Chain A
Amino acid sequence: MTFPWLTFLGLLPILGGLLLLLPMGKGAARLLGLGFALATLAVGLGVAGLYAAGADLAVQVPWIRAFGAWWALDVDGMGLAMVLMTVVLTPLVMLAEWQPPAGRWSAQVFFALVLMLQGLSLFVFMANDVVLFYLFFEATLIPTYFLIVGFGGPRRRYAAVKFLLFSLAGGLIMLASVVGLFAISASQGAPSYLVADLAQLSIDGHVGRWLMVGFLIAFIIKAPMVPLHTWLPDAAEHSTPGTATLLVGVLDKIGTFGMIKFCLGLFPEASLWATPFMVWFAVVSILWGAFGAIGSRNLMRLVAYTSVSHFGFMVLGIYAFTQASLSGSIFYMLNHGFSTAAMFLVVGYLAKRRGSYDIEAFGGVQKVAPVAAGLLLVSGLSALSLPGMSTFVSEFMVITGTWSRYPVVTAVSMIGVVLAAVYVLRMYQRTMTGPVTDATATHFTGRDLTGLERAIMVPILGVLLFLGFVPAPAAQLVEPTAQAILAHVGVTDPAPVVKGAK
């Protein structure tokens, strides 16, 4: 039997997190945490290498025979993209939060929780068994809850409980569907929760729709889509930038990830049935999130709302069922992780100096801290999908892919593209430009970003720029997943209308 790399990959950070709960010095704890994160990064890259070399990484061990639950892990292109995003972002978040806000829990606890969250998220992205997925899906809530409640802003308790309740409500509905799957699987022979086995069942009709809706609601809450999104701005506003990065960049991806892997993968017919609804739903999210961002008076809320808008684009791409849009959505998931990370972390740097997230509290920062302002602008440009940034490629794929099927819907959704420019640049204008205010002069003069802070931004923006100019590797990584899903659903791309043009 070959070495179970995927199990190792997920267990390594969890082990590190547990180890960090032992009493030890603050310096040692942080270094140890970072060490584990870097080791996980190395293993993650190794896994990517093995995947590229065509190795069979799947792990499949019987777990609970009575249910037909398996300890089954595997990665496809989409899973690997998410895994890579997670392992890259975690050490960066650690470095950015090297000094969590004073007076709360210790940095050691923060690092431990981050590691556990990382491990659990990795298992979520690798799980190839519905029960296993559900288990880790719910388990990620625990470290996240403590990350918010332990390190956030003044109303962190409210935000944490809200986050937990929304997520648990979704998880509960999903649990009902998971149980329902067992009933169906058992009625057709030996019960099995393996995704591959369940996909063979082709659960159609009313039953399939109800089960799909159960999964979908959980994912809608997770990915947040309007109107179940209000937990996200609160959670982002009242947590630290690092937590917000992991929450929005990594955890929320489970929503769209799940839609593709489970809603489309297990219930193709029901997913097609839900398409008209979901497409408009996505458009509402896009516009709603954009307007919410425009109306935000708090930087963290603003970034959170931009994410609501971006998730709308991902969902739109998923339910457009074309190769371009679906590949674009998956690619968008990857890019959005880095883009939001950039936004949250720069906002965090600014707030660390200013002591406030209020847009009103800033003004004229560009003059005294040009590097901070420049990085905020570049991060913002990635959020508004400027060509040259990888976010553009993915948004372009989603828009053009969707257009070929639903031109009107796409046209409405494209208003979000303009609104993106409005919210990003208005925020930049109000915070960074104009005359230097007194507060800015006090807090920012001579306190531009430190070397470490700049270094953290280098890989994030580097990925965004590199994939912006050379998106082919990422596109090739995610396209097989999209192809497989579309083949499974049984949909083909619309052919060009004008024949023989090419």
Chain B
Amino acid sequence: MMNPENYLILSALLFAIGAVGVLVRRNALVAFMCVELMLNACNLAFVAGSHITGVLDGQVVAFFVMVVAAAEVVVGLAIIVSIYKTRRSTSVDDANLLKL
């Protein structure tokens, strides 16, 4: 068995790249995909953890993460579409009504 830390480091790398993506991409869809990437990175960590510790619970959690991610994608995309319908834009910078 190779060093399991490598998997975790890969996971961390992907997570960080995803985070940077969320921060720099203005297209809501791409930002959203970056979030998915971060979730996937977590999944990798869970599966690797499951492998390291020798119990299956990590895999179960990864499975549930996938379920949640799927639900999230459904709702998130619906939101993006409805925003696009009203504002004709998918840029997250255009939805800045949070500003006072």
Q: Do chains A and B touch in the complex (CB under 8 A)?
A: no
Q: Point out residues on A near B: beta carbons under 8 Å.
A: none
Q: Point out residues on B near A: beta carbons under 8 Å.
A: none
